[in-house]
Amino acid sequence: MLTDWTYALQDWHTYLSGAWLSLRLSLAAFALAFALGLLGALARRSRYAVLRAPAAVYVEVIRNTPVLLQMFVAYFALPSAGLRLSPVQAGVLALGVNVGAYLTEIFRAGIQAVPPGQREAARVLALSPVRSFTHVVLPQALRNVYPAVVNQLVQIILGSSLLSAISVPELTGTAMVINSRTLLTVQVFGIAAVIYLVLTNLVVLAAGLLGRVAFKPPLPRAVRPRPLDAVRRLLPARAVSTAHKEAA
């Protein structure tokens, strides 16, 4: 058994190459999704129906169709319309458009959560609508939705595994190739799963550090539960009070 794992790990450089490609594709798709989400949120909040309607259709169509189907459309259907894309380009486009629909609603909620008094104060200071949005509304909106945006980035990284269906040699596609050669299914896909786990946790850690630097005051750290919190949820109030006294 140990020999099988050792043999599967001989292709470690191939795994890392696939993971690096997955990360690069995910970041490119996230950049596209971020831009689409921000533009879509502004369109959804526009006073003009000619902007609101297409944005609403975009969100409803994309969020209610499978992302794998959207990849097939980008790779197989767009060439019939005269737009030929490589597998990587089609994958980035499909992932970006898909997550952009979710970010549209996330950004719209974040903008709506900014108190109206902030906008009124910006008008009192004679800021233009553009400066009011970029310097007053947008920073507060991003702070409100930052955890949800990071979660969408993680979803893009995990969703990039679907690009193996259109022959992109990312981490899952690489694992499938190695598995077809070695027939060590448990070992090969187990290694790929560990790499995904490490990759997503590193991205979350980096995003957390970035959030503490970018937002002033910094985002609060996660609150650790106290030892008696789990007991408090299970025992009656009197029993918890007794437990506190005994602990004292």
User: What is the reported pLDDT for 174?
Assistant: 93
Residue at token pair 């599967």: 8
pLDDT band at 222 (very low <50, low <70, confident <90, very high): very low
The answer to whether residue 233 scores a pLDDT higher than 70 is no
Q: What is the largest distance, in Å, between two alpha-carbon atoms of the chain?
A: 76
Q: Which of 3-12, 183-192, 196-205 has the lowest mean pLDDT?
A: 3-12
The rounded Cα 143 to chain-centroid distance in angstroms is 16
pLDDT, mean of residues 24-46: 95
DSSP per residue, 95-107: HHHHHHHHHHHHH
User: What is the reported pLDDT for 220?
Assistant: 57
Distance, in Å, from the CA atom of 149 to the CA atom of 145, rounded to the nearest integer, reads: 6
User: What is the reported pLDDT for 81?
Assistant: 85
pLDDT, mean of residues 17-29: 95
User: What is the reported pLDDT for 1?
Assistant: 59
The answer to whether residue 229 scores a pLDDT higher than 50 is no
User: What is the reported pLDDT for 129?
Assistant: 80
User: What is the reported pLDDT for 104?
Assistant: 96
User: What is the reported pLDDT for 231?
Assistant: 38
pLDDT, mean of residues 130-151: 88
User: What is the reported pLDDT for 218?
Assistant: 60
User: What is the reported pLDDT for 125?
Assistant: 80
Contacts of 100 (CB under 8 A, 6+ apart): 32, 33, 34, 35, 36, 37, 40, 62
Give Cα separations from 204 to 38, 144, 201 (angstroms).
21, 17, 5
User: What is the reported pLDDT for 217?
Assistant: 64
User: What is the reported pLDDT for 211?
Assistant: 87
Q: Which of 59-68, 70-79, 126-135, 177-186 has the lowest mean pLDDT?
A: 126-135
User: What is the reported pLDDT for 219?
Assistant: 60
pLDDT, mean of residues 44-58: 92
pLDDT, greater one: 49 or 224: 49
The answer to whether residue 152 scores a pLDDT higher than 90 is yes
The whole-chain average pLDDT of the chain stands at 84
User: What is the reported pLDDT for 245?
Assistant: 53
User: What is the reported pLDDT for 189?
Assistant: 92
User: What is the reported pLDDT for 213?
Assistant: 85
